[in-house]
Chain A
């Protein structure tokens, strides 16, 4: 379902730089594993996620495939496309926008993972798989608003497929599996209960946001929203060049992403942060590395700097610091600062140089 309505443009969102940054990084590098946005109500969470789709590049899909298979990647295709390909069929290709698929809080398991096709079964007496939300979300964004209110067993299946990139269905007499590679974006209001650590860890990045305190900016929010509601088309026209330049920047960053290098010094810094911050497992390390490379690319650089690692650490550790259920999530900013500025403290042959300037995180 492509949304034909004009959505509030991403570039026109006032403030909330961290959230916008995290979303953009995921648009550049889908391997970042999604974002969890934690914050109070009415902080443009949903608006930002929906408007992100407009910034995403178009993708090539097999035109009549429910899963939206990539016609150029046999490795990542669903069973049907593979068998069609093997029988010598030419797969019809079309270009379409990346989807933002919403998973409503009240969703049932069969809608999420797919189920037995009733019509086929009764009319033809055949077992056929009817795909669900996970199939729709393949190669797109899966957006779960209020993810902390989601039913537990739905969370479990979500975990399963988010981790594997495959949705395996063994239920209601149907045995089926299809690729389910999606960027998981969740929003939640922490006042209504926390997420389980296991699910938290599945999100590559996490940002905490709050309402803007600055009076002028608040007024700006209201003004922009008013003019958007009055005349959506006109508003879009107004922001078109901004949107386009942001889109260009994303496209350019995507192009150079593979060329971005990260020095051993930075890798050791990352590993050090992970050890000192006492995170579980290794996902944090990998995410910090990926996020800092993506950040560098977004800033048009081909080399990762300390400042990239710092911003990346903030986003990648935010939700991984919680060792026990009752510890409050969040990064101890001073501790992180300390580790980063004292990175030279540990002796290692790779570390030759280090700067002591505390570079300000660039505004994007």
Chain B
């Protein structure tokens, strides 16, 4: 869609959000800054601004009619067709036009992003020819991804690859092609809907966080302008034409002046020092800091970079790169963030996963050590009495929530493994988003476009009866789909009297709620089992309604004895029966307990019964298990929950382990408030 032809809200009429508009302008002045990520709550003119930017962007020379937007002045950057024309000494027709903003819709499939075989040409000529995709259209322009955090991982990887190289290399459907793909990547997202992978985050040169305007007068001005625009678009746009032209010219002038702006060694040093202060990874930050400072000075009409310019650059460039001081386990983590291998490569991903798992375990060990030290303080706070079973049931409030760190990381890994696995099992469902096609035949989910492309080049030779394309068995391609839901979390919560001791239940509820928040973002299904008195009970059958879960959690009373065995087996039963309904789910059993048991289900010793059930679950590879130990590290520590986790083959965490005080790798804390 060419946005320049539509009546869009003018860029210069955007009220407030100076940081965002400036960041966008800076990218237009100096494209090598490397793009911008805008994080912000809904309804804060994120998309409006990006789309409006197109109208004030400077003009560039392109080869007229070239789908790759070739630069006629750079011979070595020309696409093969343009090169051929130059070689035959044909003058390339030059067109002056504004830089374009290309939209990448969420439903985009791989073939349209990368480009693919030209179907019509192949049928007619029997030859393979490349038809360019979005990456070609975005060359020398802006590639805009709205809701970038919701985009499919695979598509994101493909775009990242191209962005990093400035090249799009296509080897598919018997076509091999290579063309330049240098673009400014601009993404907008609402963090409520889930975070972005750290690796992608780093790809954006700048990142800013925006929110609504709090000033009353400005707010009213905004309402008025918007209404004016909505009632008469054309008039409004005409009224702002002068502003638009001014801004556009200012950008053009700044772009021209940029090479002449100077930066002293002192300021370069300051840039690097500031980057070092927040422990950025690599040198990209320093380089972008310098470029940003130069662009700011240039835009402000200065000849040389001042300290204020550098300060301003910090907000734009360093916020999303800031990290905590490097610690021993950090290296592992970095490795773990590699993108998952594309699933169609058969067994390969499995190996990768094992490696990841190993790394994660190392990491876990490293961090456990660290947290044990940190746990000392908690010891003092912890209550001494563990016994003392209250007869009356008590309802404890929900404790403080926190950003779940560890589980999220682990889960993230689980998800990737899941999506790798799911793409094989899931094709049977024919539901979900079509991302790309495969030659593997598993289901009858026909990928028509890919099938046609596969058949097209042979049409000249095949016998066709009343059709233009005759399809043979070997042409058939199937769809690979991705569905984001499919995780199913069953919480098995100890609600016995011992949980009432200290603030244990409050903390436990806080922990569950934090996990629920996480589940909400990932849109998992949840179920909850609580065990107390003589039996366990399904508080909540499998549901999508996280709200309902919260309400039940709030009202969950504590008291009585501990039928641990019944709790675990009931939780497992729910998973089993849900499997019958939907074999594609990826279940996670979360047991929250101190591992103590004093009610028998089958008449045996309560604890050994529980251990037996645990072992039974261990043998089921489909189920992921997590044990969260709520025992306070006090004088008397039984470590029963840990034993249980080993028997169950579950990942083991203490409540304290779940807390994410150090989320800096993803974002600095103040960004997440």
On A, residues with C-beta under 8 Å from B are: 31, 75, 108-110, 113, 116, 118, 121-127, 151-153, 156-157, 159-160, 163-164, 166, 168-175, 177, 191-194, 196-198, 201, 258, 262, 264, 267-268, 270-272, 274-275, 279-286, 289-290, 325-326, 328, 346, 348
Contacts and interface: CB of A to CB of B under 8 A. Distances in A.
A113 B112 CA distance: 15
A192 B6 CA distance: 40
Most B CB contacts (10 A, CB to CB) among A109, A118, A258, A270 go to A109
Nearest to B218: A271
A122 B107 contact: no
Interface stretch (B406-414, B540-548, B581-589, B590-598): B540-548
B213 A282 contact: yes
Nearest to A167: B105
A13 B513 CA distance: 42
B223 A271 contact: yes
28 contacts: A121-B448, A121-B469, A122-B468, A125-B123, A126-B468, A157-B106, A164-B51, A168-B105, A170-B109, A170-B134, A172-B112, A173-B116, A174-B112, A174-B449, A175-B112, A175-B134, A198-B192, A262-B227, A267-B220, A271-B216, A275-B216, A275-B219, A281-B43, A281-B44, A284-B43, A286-B226, A326-B516, A326-B547
Contacts of B456: 125
Contacts of A328: 547
Interface in B207-226: 211-214, 216, 219-220, 222-224, 226
Contact of B224 (A124, A258, A267): A267
B112 A192 contact: no
Interface string B490-528: 000000000000000000000001001100100100000
A170 B108 contact: yes
Given A192-B545, A194-B547, A325-B547, A172 B483 contact: no
A344 B214 CA distance: 19
Given A121-B448, A125-B459, A283-B43, A113 B107 contact: yes
Interface string B92-127: 000000000001111111011100100110011000
B107 A280 contact: no
Contacts of B150: 156
B351 to A, nearest CB: 29
Contact of A152 (B146, B452, B484): B484
Contact of A170 (B113, B224, B546): B113
Given A125-B124, A159-B147, 12 more contacts: A121-B119, A122-B469, A168-B105, A191-B545, A193-B547, A196-B193, A270-B220, A280-B44, A286-B222, A326-B516, A326-B547, A346-B216
Given A156-B150, A170-B134, A198-B193, A325 B224 contact: no
Given A110-B434, A152-B523, A267-B220, A125 B547 contact: no
Contacts of A194: 545-547
B109 A171 contact: yes
A125 B47 contact: no
Given A267-B224, A283-B43, A169 B107 contact: yes
A325 B134 CA distance: 35
B449 A282 contact: no
Contacts of A110: 434
B89 to A, nearest CB: 33
Most B CB contacts (10 A, CB to CB) among A116, A173, A325, A348 go to A173
* Chain A residues touching B, majority SS: helix
Nearest to B513: A326
B391 interface: no
B223 A173 contact: no
A118 B192 contact: no
B545 A193 contact: yes
Contacts of B109: 170-172
Nearest to A74: B5
Given A169-B107, A198-B42, A326 B546 contact: yes
B544 A122 contact: no
Contact of B449 (A173, A275, A281, A346): A173
B158 to A, nearest CB: 13
A314 to B, nearest CB: 18
Interface in B58-114: 103-109, 111-113
Most A CB contacts (10 A, CB to CB) among B108, B192, B456, B517 go to B192
A151 B112 CA distance: 23
A289 B105 contact: no
Most B CB contacts (10 A, CB to CB) among A124, A170, A279, A286 go to A170
A286 B220 CA distance: 9
A274 B219 contact: yes
A326 B550 contact: yes
A168 B103 contact: yes
B480 to A, nearest CB: 13
B358 interface: no
B290 interface: no
B646 interface: no
Contacts of B548: 191, 193
Contacts of A121: 119, 448, 452, 468-469
4 closest residue pairs by CB, A with B:
A281-B43, A125-B468, A283-B43, A125-B123
Contact of A151 (B103, B131, B431, B466): B431
B111 A270 contact: no
A281 B220 CA distance: 13
B431 A75 contact: no
Nearest to B46: A281
* Chain B residues touching A, majority SS: mixed
Nearest to B435: A171
Contact of A268 (B123, B147, B216, B466): B216
A273 to B, nearest CB: 10
Contacts of A168: 1, 103, 105
Contacts of A159: 147
A198 B483 CA distance: 19
B449 A160 contact: no
Contacts of A122: 452, 467-469, 471
Nearest to A258: B231
A160 B41 contact: no
B448 A153 contact: no
A172 B226 contact: no
B453 interface: yes
B190 interface: yes
B171 to A, nearest CB: 17
A201 B214 CA distance: 19
Contact of B223 (A31, A126, A169, A286): A286
B165 interface: no
Given A258-B231, A280-B42, A325 B107 contact: no
A163 to B, nearest CB: 6
Contacts of A258: 231
A172 B108 contact: no
B42 A325 contact: no
B613 interface: no
B312 interface: no
Contacts of B190: 198
A193 B485 CA distance: 14
B325 interface: no
Contacts of B103: 168
A264 B119 contact: no
A313 to B, nearest CB: 13
A254 B544 CA distance: 41
Most A CB contacts (10 A, CB to CB) among B44, B133, B216, B483 go to B216
Contacts of B45: 282
Contact of B119 (A118, A127, A151, A289): A127
B432 interface: yes
A127 B448 contact: no
B203 interface: no
A290 B190 CA distance: 25
Contacts of A267: 220, 223-224
